[in-house]
Amino acid sequence: MSSSLDIIVIGGGAAGFFAAITCAQTHPHSRVTLLESTSKVLTKVRIAGGGRCNVTHHCFEPAQLITYYPRGGRELRGAFTRFQPKDLIEWFESQGVALKTETDGRVFPVSDTSETIVDCLIKTAKKAKVNIDINSEVINLIKKNNHFQVELKTGKILKCDRILVATGSNKIGYQLAKSLGHEIILPIPSLFTFKIKDFRFQGLEGIGLNQVGLKLLGTEKKQQYQQSGSFLITHWGISGFGVLKLSAFGAKILHKKKYNMSLLINFLFPDNTDEVKQKLLIAKSQNQRSNKLISSYPLFNLPKRLWKKLLEYANIDCEKNWSELSQKETIKLAKELTQGQYEIIEKGVFKDEFVTCGGVNLKEINFKTMESKVCPHLYLAGEVLDIDGVTGGFNLQSAWTTGWLAGKAIGNK
Ligand SMILES: Cc1cc2nc3c(=O)[nH]c(=O)nc-3n(C[C@H](O)[C@H](O)[C@H](O)COP(=O)(O)OP(=O)(O)OC[C@H]3O[C@@H](n4cnc5c(N)ncnc54)[C@H](O)[C@@H]3O)c2cc1C
């Protein structure tokens, strides 16, 4: 039922904007005010995806989509049946923003600039009569009977009937949610690269592989700590989708171990050590290969420089021919190729995307409406919640979806 409620949205990011627009369009008689602490709205959307803004991912099946969320997937299952990437793409296209899907499934504006997305959101919010107040940092939130009292840093006090906290991974936002009875799961980093100093990577910066297997040693029983995907050797260590995925699924254990853990790399994923050993034995006996230098004729399409490093590390003489590879060396090489051990010594940075694991406990939220179960008429959306996805547009999608759900519900009496 539409009403003339006073609604305040705290946070001018993706979730706050989408919620404010949805609310103002769904409940045109409500007065919607969006408060942003800084002098600029949508800062993260602006820098997202290296300035191109990877708005979502081309994955239209909710059951599949939730597998990209180390935290929040289960809760988002139903939410994605109501508003998912397909709906988002249609939404932007209905506002005149053309989007394109890249071969890896990431969706960007055709313009290749995040300004298109920012402009569209600001324009649509203004058209829907959302009142946008910048330089309005909320420092305190009090519930009084059936309304909220909102205190700004400027000293101003505002009153509203419904409130949405969409403050992202910001300390004050967590404090506001906590002050109204919410539990905050410890916020820690997710989506980072691994710093590794190892002879085997020296001088190989820039070498990448499409598919490697990565496992955190000592956690073999847990599937989430075994990931696969692309891999890139950098000046610092390693990056790539597989690494970022493991950093997200392993965010908590890596934090607990202070980013010092052993990593097993399978350069030939999905083959295992035995399968690789058999392939090496076959290669060794092949006429066209047996009298060739093992170092000059790599197997498995591995880059020659990486192959040589791995041979050296396994103490296999690079001047040997394939036919001279002993049984013991074959086993050693197969192991090096499929379960080489590397030491993660620090967390690196991934400049294109970064997200926080942790936030408001999801058990306290009704995912049909995003209303708090512990504080009625308070709604939460976006990264302030304990939701995070892997890289590829999933983080913004959860902000759009939770913002949309909150916007639909918040104006109901
Ligand atoms: C460098 C970088 C690149 C990224 N690229 C991508 C990408 O390409 N694709 C993708 O899916 N995800 C990307 N992400 C993640 C994505 O940007 C976030 O998950 C998403 O922006 C979260 O949206 P949000 O609205 O919840 O929070 P935010 O975008 O953080 O917005 C919260 C807003 O609330 C304001 N605020 C906080 N506290 C207060 C307060 N007390 N009073 C008033 N206002 C307040 C903040 O100033 C901010 O504007 C990227 C993140 C980073 C850091």
Q: Does the global pTM surpass 0.85? A: yes
pLDDT along the chain (413 residues), means of 10: 81 98 96 98 96 97 98 98 98 97 97 98 98 98 95 97 97 97 97 96 96 91 91 96 97 97 96 94 79 82 93 92 90 96 94 92 98 98 98 98 98 87
User: For residue 13, how far is its CA from the centre of ligand 1 (angstroms)?
Assistant: 5
Ligand 1 pocket mutation pick from 107, 179, 353, 357 by most atoms within 8 angstroms of CB: 353
Ligand 1 pocket mutation pick from 34, 36, 39, 44 by most atoms within 8 angstroms of CB: 44
Cα 33 off chain centre by: 29
User: For residue 386, how far is its CA from the centre of ligand 1 (angstroms)?
Assistant: 14
User: For residue 397, how far is its CA from the centre of ligand 1 (angstroms)?
Assistant: 12
Q: Which residues pair with 158 in a beta bridge?
A: 150
Q: Please name the residue whose Cα sits nearest to atom 27 of ligand 1.
A: 168
Phi, psi of 281 (to 5 degrees): -65, -40
What does the pLDDT read at residue 1? Answer: 46
The 3-class secondary structure across 41-81, one letter per residue, is CCHHHHHHHHHCCCCEECCCCHHHHHHHCCECHHHHHHHHH
The residue whose two tokens read 């920012």 is: 118
Q: What residues does each domain of the chain span?
A: 6-189+352-410, 194-349
Cα distance between residue 354 and residue 29, in whole Å: 37
The listed CATH number (1.10.443.10, 2.40.50.140, 3.50.50.60, 2.40.30.10) that belongs to domain 6-189+352-410: 3.50.50.60
Pocket of ligand 1 (CB under 6 A): 10-16, 35-38, 43-44, 47-49, 53-54, 137-138, 166-168, 170, 172-173, 352-355, 382-383, 393-396, 399
**What 3-state DSSP class applies to 88?**
helix
